[in-house]
Amino acid sequence: LKQPLGYRYATSYAGIRKVRKDDLTLIISDPPASAAAMFTTNRVQAAPVRLARKHLSESGGVVRAVLVNAGNANCATRTGDRVAAASCRALAKELGVRIETVIPASTGVIGVELDAGLLVNSLPALVEKLREDAFDAAAQAIMTTDLVPKTAFAETSGVRVAGMTKGSGMIHPNMATTLAFVMTDAGIAPPRLKVILKRAVERSFHRLSVDGDTSTNDMVLLLANGASGIAPRAKSLHAYEEAVGAVLEDLAKQIARDGEGAKKLITIDVEGARSNDDAARIARAIANSPLVKTAIAGSDPNWGRILSAAGYSGVIFEPSKTDVYLQGTKVCRGGLAAPITEDVLKQKLDSPECWIRFVIRGGGTGEARFYTCDLTKGYIDINASYRT
């Protein structure tokens, strides 16, 4: 798969992180790109989130550059707005573009002042380093507690999609900042792009998290710069939307898999609810249950915890018509224990991919899929000392 045309990337160490590891990332689109973004719904919003919203609105959804720093969220600080504005202004000047086409993004600790000088002084050398083949380095430099960089690619009818994300699936996945940047070289107007992004997020990042359980800095940005010369329509537009959705879904799964301390990706399918919405509520309750997540960590086929989590989801269903499957094996039939060979099932659960299937018989056609990860001691290690 080839990279989308018309984008260049650069990274450097600006001294924001304590460890010497690139912490500043620049993504530029040589042709002005159409842009659509979704931001955190947290009541507390970081300065770069507020400024990114403003810029997108002022530019009418046109983006030339994205400047991302890791190591500091630039949130809940005295100088946050000024720092975000100063770095965008300096970058706009350096690139010779309008400031409202520059999107800032930050991730890291909250409540610690970010020194604008660190960013601004790094820009000339950063712009100098811009290259078409530095996509992977960029995916590395935006990481915080991530163990691995996360990228996904697609190509459809001559149009290319390349996505990168950072974030670690957690107990409530979106409490840690999620940043995702998806570059495409299709030609698509901003209003259409917005619809495509919303649907793609619905089947990906929103299936990883409790809606509303967001960090102060979350942002998903989709760019379409038309550098392929192709403006997808009808069937090919549909294929483009599918490609963007698949890339975001792949990225969301990678976040769950790279959950803080996680050893296992857990996929949860709920079927037979009265509506998709009901199915999603049940799936979310199971996905967020620390008791379910620790049971999976221990390869314990404890379906009682799954049934109990569904029971407090707020959705009305008939436990006596409910079946639960682990790794495809029926462990609960009509709300009661199904005969299983525990040793065999335990062994199956030792896999890095676990699958919980929750089926309400005769309930309806509502279904939903959620992604989460198991809960291990590693999570505690990472989070009891993240700040210091």
DSSP 207: G
**What is the Cβ-side half-sphere exposure of residue 103, based on CA atoms within 13 angstroms?**
34
Of 177, 216, 322, 376, catalytic: 177
Residue 290 interacts with its own copies (CB under 8 A)? Answer: yes
Among the listed residues 47, 171, 230, 280, the single contact to its own copies using CB under 8 A:
171
Q: How far apart are the first and last CA of the chain?
A: 41
CA distances, 150 to each of 76, 153, 373 (Å): 28, 11, 16
By beta-carbon proximity to its own copies, the closer residue of 141 and 285 is: 285
- Residue 352, Cβ density class (10 Å: 0-12 exposed, 13-18 middle, ≥19 buried): exposed
- Amino acid (1-letter code) at residue 197: L
Residue 73 interacts with its own copies (CB under 8 A)? Answer: yes
Among the listed residues 235, 316, 339, 341, the single contact to its own copies using CB under 8 A:
316
Residues 95-134 binding its own copies (CB under 8 A) are 109-113
Binding mask 199-228 for its own copies (x = CB under 8 A): -------------xxxxx------------
Residue 84 interacts with its own copies (CB under 8 A)? Answer: no
- Residue 341, Cβ density class (10 Å: 0-12 exposed, 13-18 middle, ≥19 buried): exposed
β-strands 265-273, 353-360 pairing:
parallel
Residue 255 interacts with its own copies (CB under 8 A)? Answer: no
Residue 381 interacts with its own copies (CB under 8 A)? Answer: yes
Residue 341 interacts with its own copies (CB under 8 A)? Answer: no
By beta-carbon proximity to its own copies, the closer residue of 191 and 314 is: 314
Tokens representing 289?
Answer: 């249950």
Residue 76 interacts with its own copies (CB under 8 A)? Answer: yes
β-strands 322-326, 329-333 pairing:
antiparallel
Which among 18-26, 73-81, 83-91, 271-279 is the span making contact with its own copies, rule CB under 8 A?
Answer: 73-81
- Compute how many residues bind its own copies; rule: CB under 8 A: 64
Among the listed residues 5, 176, 182, 208, the single contact to its own copies using CB under 8 A:
176
Which among 83-91, 126-134, 272-280, 292-300 is the span making contact with its own copies, rule CB under 8 A?
Answer: 292-300
By beta-carbon proximity to its own copies, the closer residue of 73 and 97 is: 73
Among the listed residues 27, 68, 287, 315, the single contact to its own copies using CB under 8 A:
315
Q: What is the CA radius of gyration of the chain?
A: 22
Residues in the chain: 388
Among the listed residues 276, 291, 345, 348, the single contact to its own copies using CB under 8 A:
291
Residue 302 interacts with its own copies (CB under 8 A)? Answer: yes
Among the listed residues 9, 135, 205, 317, the single contact to its own copies using CB under 8 A:
317
By beta-carbon proximity to its own copies, the closer residue of 60 and 111 is: 111
Neighbour count for residue 184 (Cβ, 10 Å) = 33
β-strands 329-333, 336-337 pairing:
antiparallel
Q: What's the CA gap between 98 and 92, in Å, rounded?
A: 6
Q: What's the CA gap between 134 and 196, in Å, rounded?
A: 26
Residue 43 interacts with its own copies (CB under 8 A)? Answer: yes
* 8 A C-beta contact, residue 88 and residue 51: yes
Enumerate the H helices of the chain as residue ranges: 47-59, 80-95, 116-128, 135-141, 190-202, 234-257, 276-288, 290-297, 303-311, 342-349, 377-383
By beta-carbon proximity to its own copies, the closer residue of 93 and 377 is: 377
3-state SS assignment for residue 309:
helix
Tokens representing 372?
Answer: 């989460």
Residue 3 interacts with its own copies (CB under 8 A)? Answer: no
DSSP 302: -
Which among 250-258, 270-278, 287-295, 349-357 is the span making contact with its own copies, rule CB under 8 A?
Answer: 287-295
Among the listed residues 228, 289, 327, 372, the single contact to its own copies using CB under 8 A:
289
Q: Is position 177 annotated as part of the catalytic site?
A: yes
Residue 314 interacts with its own copies (CB under 8 A)? Answer: yes
Least spacing, CB of residue 80 vs its own copies, in Å: 9
Residues carrying an active site annotation? 177
Using CB under 8 A as the criterion, which residues of the chain lie in contact with its own copies when the complex forms? 41-44, 73, 75-78, 109-113, 170-172, 175-176, 212-216, 289-291, 294-295, 297-298, 300, 302-305, 307-317, 319, 332, 335-337, 375-377, 379-381, 383-388
